[in-house]
Amino acid sequence: MNIYDVSKKAGVSIATVSRVLNGNNNVSEKTRQRVLSVMDELGYTPNVFARGLGLNTMKTIGIMCTDSSDVYLANAVYYLEQELRANDYDSILCCTGTRNSTKKKYMELLISKRVDGIILVGSKFLDTHMEENAYIIDAAKSLPIMLVNCHLDGENIYSAQCDDETAVFSVTDSLIKSGRNKIVYLYTSTSQSGLKKLSGYEKALDLNHIPARTEFMQLCHKDILRAKEYLNSLHARGISFDAVVTSDDSLAVGALKFAYENHIRVPDELNIVGYNDSILARCTEPELTSIDSKVEALCSTTVNTLMGVFAEKHVPSKTLIQAELIVRGTTRL
């Protein structure tokens, strides 16, 4: 017995039943009486514990992301919302920023709102200090925690990740096999996923017996200008390089700007590889070769797994999805 049955039987919209329940005045007295008598007849009483007015669940999932205006995270939020909606779930969005104390506060807040599950988007939710992740393990005691593109071992924690390490390994290895051997790696963060990408770069060098050079690995955040200026500084110091691999398209845009300023021909003299295959990759001239990190597949897997958890099915606690290299004009591979 729920609000939908009342609405159907009374021949009014759910919104009208809701208005009657809320004592809202925008309902005619006649309609109000009809709705109330149907409630009586059906023996309907709003659930005192209030899980969504007579339903046994809020049918609401909390989505936490550090910054929903980030191009990658905005896409993830979009796909998650669509998938959840297709399963009749609402999503409450929380943009947490990157401070641990704020993330914990929002997690607590969402739990107090009694959402049915929480999805953490992006690997910026995991700290390299494991004790800082205790709040996630703790939250998983109350409800399922879904991680999009990061992984944490723990009961009731599920993850879907892109195989970022293999993706960066493969493209770096391909660049080496095609004759490049002075490859700069620019990265956006030292998150779990960020470190895997970096490790993929280092492994490819190692496998090909090319020593890793510290000046060839640089943290630039998602900052186009910082990427450009770092490459300018290498160039000014007479340090030459023939390829730039990045962990985000924004840094590849910066690399292209460096090449433009210094009249370096791309891809003849310099190969550039972006990551995430975002709209930025199609804005530049030439367009960016970029790694498609399969955000849509990660999000649909996450929601499918969550629905499996709710249905008490057996679901994998960890899913790994392969990235795909999209070759455009900034490489000759």
- Which of 284, 289, 330, 331 is close enough to bind a second copy by CB under 8 A? 284
Contacts of 332 (CB under 8 A, 6+ apart): 178, 267, 268, 271
* Residue 210 found at the interface with a second copy (CB under 8 A): no
Beta bridge partners of 309: none
Return the closest-CA partner of residue 65 out of 42, 89, 92.
92
Distance of alpha carbon 76 from alpha carbon 91, whole angstroms:
13
- As given in the structure block, the two tokens for residue 104 are 């914990």
Q: Residue 97 CB, nearest distance to a second copy (Å)?
A: 9
Minimum CB distance to a second copy smaller for 1 or for 50: 50
For residue 166, give the H/E element and its range: helix 164-177
Cα Dmax for the chain: 85
Binding mask 61-100 for a second copy (x = CB under 8 A): --x---xxx-x--xx-xxx-xx--x----xxxxxx-----
Minimum CB distance to a second copy smaller for 74 or for 327: 74
* Residue 142 found at the interface with a second copy (CB under 8 A): yes
* Residue 262 found at the interface with a second copy (CB under 8 A): no
Minimum CB distance to a second copy smaller for 63 or for 186: 63
Query: CB neighbours (10 Å) of residue 297?
Result: 16
Distance of alpha carbon 36 from alpha carbon 211, whole angstroms:
78
Cβ-contact 255, 224 below 8 angstroms: no
Task: Write the DSSP string, 21-86.
Answer: HTT-S-S-HHHHHHHHHHHHHHT----TT-SSTTSSS--EEEEEES-TTSHHHHHHHHHHHHHHHH
Binding mask 213-252 for a second copy (x = CB under 8 A): -----------x-------------------------x--
Q: Residue 52 CB, nearest distance to a second copy (Å)?
A: 8
Minimum CB distance to a second copy smaller for 105 or for 203: 105
- As given in the structure block, the two tokens for residue 206 are 């190692």
Distance of alpha carbon 78 from alpha carbon 97, whole angstroms:
18
* Residue 49 found at the interface with a second copy (CB under 8 A): yes
**Percentages helix, strand, coil for the chain, rounded to the nearest 5?**
45, 15, 40
* Residue 114 found at the interface with a second copy (CB under 8 A): yes
Minimum CB distance to a second copy smaller for 85 or for 182: 85
Q: Residue 285 CB, nearest distance to a second copy (Å)?
A: 5
Q: Residue 98 CB, nearest distance to a second copy (Å)?
A: 14
Minimum CB distance to a second copy smaller for 147 or for 227: 227
Distance of alpha carbon 211 from alpha carbon 223, whole angstroms:
27
Q: Which stretch binds a second copy (CB under 8 A): 28-36, 107-115, 167-175, 262-270?
A: 107-115
Cβ-contact 270, 242 below 8 angstroms: yes
Q: Residue 90 CB, nearest distance to a second copy (Å)?
A: 5
Beta bridge partners of 65: 95, 121
First to last CA, the chain: 62
Number of residues that bind a second copy (CB under 8 A): 60
* Residue 47 found at the interface with a second copy (CB under 8 A): yes
Q: Residue 44 CB, nearest distance to a second copy (Å)?
A: 12
Q: Which stretch binds a second copy (CB under 8 A): 158-166, 254-262, 265-273, 312-320?
A: 254-262
Chain residues in the site for a second copy (CB under 8 A): 3, 13-15, 17-19, 21-24, 26, 45-53, 60, 63, 67-69, 71, 74-75, 77-79, 81-82, 85, 90-95, 108, 111-114, 141-142, 224, 250, 253, 256-257, 260, 279-280, 282-285
